[in-house]
């Protein structure tokens, strides 16, 4: 357990370093928002393209892997929907709880997979991301539009569901990079001379810069009395999601590294990009910001324990 905590510790030290730099305005105002954009539009897509271009899609494990992750997504969403109905939560707060429950921080996830399980873990993490990132984005756009209608922040924008969906997919650089990397891989056109080398170099810079930027995005002032809505969304994120993955891995006889990496999707905090989607589609952005901050802090404690339990029962 102690050695596991030491393996996870560098990831959280980078997160905290980013938070400290932002608080001290180092190196200058606006710097970390620029790093965040660079990471989102260039570095992280390069990493996902690089890893998905290496995936062996003939692996018989792939259908099981996809089924396990998508089944966990569905069960977790049902848990959140039932919780919000029982608590009589208003739609904007309910949709933010849904995001907090089903979304995962891809940046932290890949950093942990690489830190704990090396390059093989990173490739498996990219495989899972290629399944979950498009699925979660489609699911959330549909769900949030049905829960409280189209965007209230831009009345002039197109509000049809097909256009919202196509916009969410086409404008998402992570999804585009996954589609390109996987597609070229399936066609047998990878590695690409020069391009693969450049993308590989960019991917090496992605994880440390992304973690610093995620840490800089933490807003301690957003923590208010969010009460049981935070508790239930965190139970969905840190308990229901990984537990369903673990049970399904055990039931379908998926063991070892693939199972351990799959569990990581359920033990990292929710994505910082959830705040932007909450603003765009009428969710409770203030509560979403609080959920992101509090889950990031809470995961410092819960993550080592969850990974230790997964290694104990699924290795």
Q: Mind listing the domains of the chain with CATH numbers?
A: 2-314 (1.20.1530)
Average pLDDT, the chain: 85
Residue 83: the pLDDT is 96
Are 206 and 46 within 8 A, CB to CB? yes
How far is it, in rounded angstroms, from Cα 187 to Cα 215?
Answer: 38
Cα 208 from Cα 239, distance rounded (Å): 27
Q: Report the Cα 48 to chain-centroid distance in Å.
A: 13
Residue 152 near residue 282 (C-beta atoms within 8 A)? yes
Predicted confidence at residue 79, as pLDDT, reads: 98
Q: What is the pLDDT confidence band of residue 150, given thresholds at 50, 70 and 90?
A: low
Q: What is the Cα gyration radius of the chain?
A: 19
Measure Cα distances from 267 to 115, 277, 304 in Å. Answer: 15, 21, 9
Determine contact, residues 95/270, Cβ cutoff 8 Å. no
Q: Does residue 264 register a pLDDT over 80?
A: yes
Q: What is the pLDDT of residue 155?
A: 47
Over 70: is that where the pLDDT of 151 sits?
A: no
The pLDDT assigned to 158 comes to 47
H or E, element range at 286: helix 285-314
148-165: average pLDDT: 57
Residue with the bigger pLDDT between 44 and 150: it is 44
Position with higher pLDDT, 29 vs 148: 29
Q: Which two tokens stand for residue 245?
A: 């993955």
Q: Is the pLDDT confidence value at 239 over 80?
A: yes
pLDDT at 81 over 70: yes
Average pLDDT value for residue range 237-245: 97
Q: Which residues, 6 or more positions from 134, have their beta carbon under 8 angstroms from its beta carbon?
A: 169, 175, 178
How many Å apart are CA 243 and CA 100, to the nearest integer? 16
pTM (predicted TM-score): 0.83
Whether the predicted pLDDT of 194 surpasses 60: yes
| pLDDT at residue 1 in the model | 55
What the block records as the tokens of 184 is: 């070229």
Summarize pLDDT for 178-193 with one digit per residue, the tens: 889 989 988 988 888 8
Predicted local confidence at residue 153, as pLDDT: 45
Task: For residues 288-292, give the mean pLDDT.
Answer: 87
Spatial CA neighbour of 108 closest among 208, 252, 25, 37:
208
Query: Helix %, strand %, coil % for the chain, to 5?
Result: 80, 0, 20
Measured CA angle at 196 (ends 193, 197), to 5 deg: 90
CB 271 within 8 A of CB 106: yes
Per-residue model confidence as pLDDT tens digits over 8-17: 677 778 878 8
């Amino acid at each position: 357990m102690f050695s596991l905590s030491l393996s996870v510790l560098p990831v959280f030290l980078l997160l905290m370093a980013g938070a400290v730099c932002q608080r001290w305005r180092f190196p200058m105002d606006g710097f970390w928002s620029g790093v965040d954009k660079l990471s989102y539009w260039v570095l992280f897509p390069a990493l996902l393209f690089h890893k998905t271009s290496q995936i062996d899609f003939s692996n018989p494990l792939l259908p099981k892997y996809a089924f396990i992750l998508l089944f966990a997504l569905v069960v977790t969403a049902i848990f959140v929907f039932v919780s919000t109905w029982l608590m009589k939560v208003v739609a904007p707060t309910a949709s933010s709880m849904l995001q907090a429950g089903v979304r995962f921080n891809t940046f932290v996830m890949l950093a942990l997979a690489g830190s704990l399980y090396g390059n093989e873990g990173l490739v498996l993490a990219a495989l899972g991301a290629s399944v979950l990132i498009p699925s979660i984005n489609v699911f959330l756009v549909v769900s949030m539009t049905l829960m409280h209608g189209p965007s209230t922040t831009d009345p002039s924008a197109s509000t049809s569901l097909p256009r919202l969906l196509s916009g969410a997919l086409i404008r998402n650089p992570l999804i585009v990079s996954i589609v390109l990397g996987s597609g070229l891989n399936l066609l047998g056109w990878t590695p690409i001379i020069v391009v693969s080398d450049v993308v590989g170099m960019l991917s090496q810079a992605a994880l440390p810069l992304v973690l610093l930027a995620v840490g800089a995005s933490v807003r301690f002032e957003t923590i208010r009395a969010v009460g049981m809505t935070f508790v239930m969304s965190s139970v969905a994120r840190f308990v229901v999601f990984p537990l369903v993955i673990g049970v399904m891995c055990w039931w379908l006889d998926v063991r070892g590294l693939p199972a351990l990496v799959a569990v990581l999707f359920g033990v990292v905090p929710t994505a910082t990009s959830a705040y932007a989607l909450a603003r765009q589609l009428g969710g409770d952005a203030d509560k979403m910001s609080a959920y992101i901050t509090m889950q990031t802090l809470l995961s410092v404690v819960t993550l080592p324990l969850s990974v230790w339990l997964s290694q104990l029962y699924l290795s």
